[in-house]
């Protein structure tokens, strides 16, 4: 079957289901390279009208495989990419863990921007396996084995692999045996401003099992004189709301409009962000861009962004509610205010301009090698 030739490069992203950090990376890449966006899933209702220059092409809708979707959402997206119409392009950049499975359908120099090798296939495999019912586990294991083989074959077919952090670069080397260049994700630092201090701490992490928002809420339940605002959603939102029930000092707001989020970041005392071995973490950089220090954790990407004692405080790995409480007590209003200049200077190192310049350097090297 012949390859269709689009007028522009391609940027492929796993799914546009909500406006998160990975989605910002894909949109930034598309704008930087004048590329068309392709996605394994796209929910238009989840995004404001001006989020995209042009909406992504939804490959899952075109594939329309209801049986696969019933068996596994991951399987459905995998089929959407592996069976997409053939394309020829001057360049293809994959931003995700499933989209690169389309590599054999694309005639182009290809770059993988790796947010992480899929945790579900490697270091978190057993964790996710235990969350399946016993009857589903054999089929689930087969699906994961097939996905792993396809993922590793696709990763090795790339012209270049880019890691979003040193943490992820080490995972790529460990799990795939491949070299990778580190280019940190883009942050629109100019969009965040210090608007003073109001007496509350802010949690911006997605509310799922790996982000430890429940630990933060448990800590503030025992600190009735400290106020917490949680501005995100996710699979654990109902459970976290139940944990906060009856605590007037804890405000669980769920997903929040961008303008409201920026205002809350700009007016909080500090943000609290303690995920488990985070790949990178854009939220802490957004916080620092507004001059707000981060109460983080000495794990994963936060060790590359937050400078302990200068732009925030890093708790010991696997922190509990008592650790969070001690961190909040140490990161009071005066301490937070004094860290503001260092926070802004640190955030500038991760600005969108820096990201685009480095990615253009990667692409130029690929094109030169291709001749």
Number of domains into which the chain is organized:
2
Task: Say whether both 226 and 343 belong to one domain.
Answer: yes
**Percentage with pLDDT > 70 across the chain:** 95
* Tens digits of residue pLDDT in 74-96: 777 888 899 999 999 999 999 99
Condensed to tens digits (0 to 9), the pLDDT of residues 216-260 reads: 999 999 999 999 999 988 899 999 999 999 999 999 999 888 899
The tens digit of pLDDT for each residue in 274-324 reads 999 899 999 999 999 999 999 999 999 999 999 999 999 999 999 999 999
Greater confidence (7 vs 267) lies with 267
CATH code at 110? 3.40.50
Which residues are bridge partners to 39 per DSSP? 13, 58
**Are 35 and 140 contained in the same domain?**
yes
Q: Please say if the pLDDT value at position 66 is more than 90.
A: no
Asked if the model's pLDDT at residue 68 lies above 80, the reply is no
**Among 197, 151, 167, 201, residue whose Cα is nearest residue 337:** 197
Residues 150 and 229 in one domain: no
> 345: how many CB neighbours lie within 10 A of its CB?
14
Question: Domain span at residue 324?
Answer: 189-348
pLDDT category, 126, cuts 50, 70, 90? confident
27/52 Cα distance (integer angstroms): 7
Per-residue three-class SS string for 24-62 = HHHHHHHHHHCCEEEECCECHHHCCCCCCCCCCEEHHHH
Q: Per the domain annotation, does 3 fall within a domain?
A: no
In the chain, what is the greatest distance between 2 CA atoms, to the nearest angstrom?
Answer: 66
Measured distance CA(45)–CA(197) in Å, rounded: 33
User: How far is it, in rounded angstroms, from Cα 308 to Cα 310?
Assistant: 6
Give the per-residue pLDDT at 72: 61
168 and 224 co-located in one domain:
no
Q: Are residues 111 and 257 in the same domain?
A: no
Strands (E), 222-371: 228-230, 250-252, 270-272, 294-297, 312-315
Question: What pLDDT sits at residue 290?
Answer: 98
Answer for the pair 129, 121: CB distance below 8 angstroms, yes or no.
no
Phi-psi region of 73 (alpha: psi -120 to 50; beta: other; left: phi over 0): alpha
Are 43 and 59 found together in one domain?
yes
pLDDT (tens digit per residue) in 318-347: 999 999 999 999 999 999 999 999 999 999
Q: Are residues 255 and 337 in the same domain?
A: yes
Give the E-state strand segments of the chain in sequence order.
Answer: 10-13, 36-39, 57-58, 87-88, 92-95, 106-107, 110-114, 160-163, 181-182, 201-203, 228-230, 250-252, 270-272, 294-297, 312-315
Q: What is the mean pLDDT of residues 4-33?
A: 89
Q: In angstroms, rounded to a whole number, what is the distance separating the alpha carbons of residues 12 and 37?
A: 6
If asked whether residues 37 and 137 sit together in one domain, one would say: yes
Same domain for 198 and 174? no
- What pLDDT is stored for residue 238 in this prediction? 95
């Amino acid at each position: 079957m012949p390859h269709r030739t689009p007028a522009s490069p391609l940027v492929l992203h796993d799914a546009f289901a909500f406006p998160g950090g990975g989605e910002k990376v894909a949109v930034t890449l598309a704008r930087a390279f004048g590329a068309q966006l392709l996605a394994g899933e796209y929910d238009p209702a989840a995004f404001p009208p001006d989020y995209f220059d042009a909406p992504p092409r939804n490959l899952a809708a075109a594939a329309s495989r209801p049986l696969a979707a019933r068996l596994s959402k991951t399987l459905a997206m995998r089929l959407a990419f592996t069976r997409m119409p053939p394309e020829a392009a001057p360049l293809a950049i994959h931003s995700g863990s499933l989209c690169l499975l389309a590599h054999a359908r694309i005639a182009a120099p290809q770059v993988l921007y790796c947010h992480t090798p899929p945790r579900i296939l490697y270091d978190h495999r057993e964790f996710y396996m235990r969350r399946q019912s016993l009857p589903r586990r054999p089929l689930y294991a087969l699906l994961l084995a097939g996905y792993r083989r396809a993922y590793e074959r696709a990763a090795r077919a790339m012209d270049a692999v880019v890691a979003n952090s040193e943490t992820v670069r080490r995972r790529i080397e460990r799990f795939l045996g491949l070299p990778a260049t580190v280019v940190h994700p883009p942050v629109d630092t100019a969009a965040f401003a210090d608007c003073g201090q109001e007496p509350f701490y802010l949690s911006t992490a997605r509310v799922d099992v790996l982000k430890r928002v429940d630990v933060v809420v448990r800590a503030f339940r025992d600190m009735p004189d400290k106020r917490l605002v949680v501005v995100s959603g996710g699979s654990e939102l109902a459970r976290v709301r139940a944990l906060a029930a009856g605590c007037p000092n804890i405000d669980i707001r769920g997903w929040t409009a961008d303008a409201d989020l920026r205002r809350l970041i700009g007016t909080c005392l500090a943000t609290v962000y303690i995920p488990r071995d985070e790949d990178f973490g854009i939220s802490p950089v957004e916080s620092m861009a507004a001059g707000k220090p981060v109460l983080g954790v000495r794990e994963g990407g936060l060790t590359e962004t937050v400078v302990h004692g200068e732009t925030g405080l890093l708790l010991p790995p696997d922190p509990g509610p008592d650790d969070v409480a001690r961190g909040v007590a140490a990161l009071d209003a005066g301490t937070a205010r004094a860290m503001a200049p260092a926070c802004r200077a640190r955030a500038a190192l991760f600005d969108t301009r820096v990201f685009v310049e480095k990615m253009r350097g990667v692409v130029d090297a690929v094109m030169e090698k291709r001749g």
